[in-house]
Amino acid sequence: MEREFVYDGNGREGATDSLRTSRSPQADTTMLLPPRLEEHAYQVYDWVLENGEVDYAAMAPALGLGPGELRNAVETLVDWRLLRELPDRSAIVAARPDAALAEAMLPLENAITRYRLEVSRTRDEFDRLMSIYLVAGDHSATEPLTCADDLHDALSGLAGSCTREVLVANPGKDPVPRALRQALWGERRPRAEVCDGVRVRVMYQHSSRRDATTRAHSSAARRAAAEVRTVGELHDRIVVFDRQVAVLIGDAVQGGVVIREASVVDFLARVFDRSWEQGLDFAGEAGRQHEVRELADSVQQDIVRLLVQGMRDEEIARRLDISVRTCRRHIAKVMERLRSESRFQAGYLLRKRGWEFLINSSDDRAQDVG
296-309 CB burial, b ≥16 within 10 A, e <16: bbbbbbbbbbbbbe
Question: Per residue in 210-221, pLDDT tens?
Answer: 778 888 888 888
Q: What are phi and psi of 76, to 5 degrees?
A: -65, -40
Residue 258 DSSP symbol: E
Q: Is the dihedral of CA 209, 210, 212, 213 positive or negative?
A: negative
Taking residues 10-20, what's their average pLDDT? 42
Amino acid identity of residue 285, one-letter, is: E
CB-CB contact of 305 with 287 (8 Å):
no
Is pLDDT at 9 greater than 50 in this prediction? Answer: no
- Phi-psi category of residue 252: left, alpha or beta, with phi > 0 → left and psi -120 to 50 → alpha: left
Amino acid identity of residue 162, one-letter, is: C
Question: Per residue in 38-67, pLDDT tens?
Answer: 888 898 999 999 898 998 888 888 888 888
Percent of the chain surpassing pLDDT 90: 12
260-294 CB burial, b ≥16 within 10 A, e <16: ebeebbebbbebbeebbeebbebebeebeeebbee
Query: If we measure between CA atoms, which residue out of 19, 63, 25 comes closest to residue 41?
Result: 63
Question: Per residue in 345-365, pLDDT tens?
Answer: 776 666 666 555 544 444 444
Alpha carbon 197 to chain centroid, angstroms: 34
Distance CA 323, CA 326 (A): 5
End-to-end alpha carbon distance in the chain: 54
323-353 CB burial, b ≥16 within 10 A, e <16: eeebbebbbebbbebbebeeeeebbebbbee
Rg (CA), the chain: 30
pLDDT bin (cut points 50, 70, 90) of residue 175 is: confident
Give me the long-range contacts of 57-64 (CB less than 8 A, separation at least 24).
Answer: 57/7, 57/11, 57/12, 57/13, 60/7, 60/11
Residue 295 DSSP symbol: H
pLDDT bin (cut points 50, 70, 90) of residue 341 is: confident
Least confident of 40-44, 53-57, 239-243, 288-292: 288-292
CB-CB contact of 231 with 206 (8 Å):
yes
Q: What are phi and psi of 73, to 5 degrees?
A: -65, -45
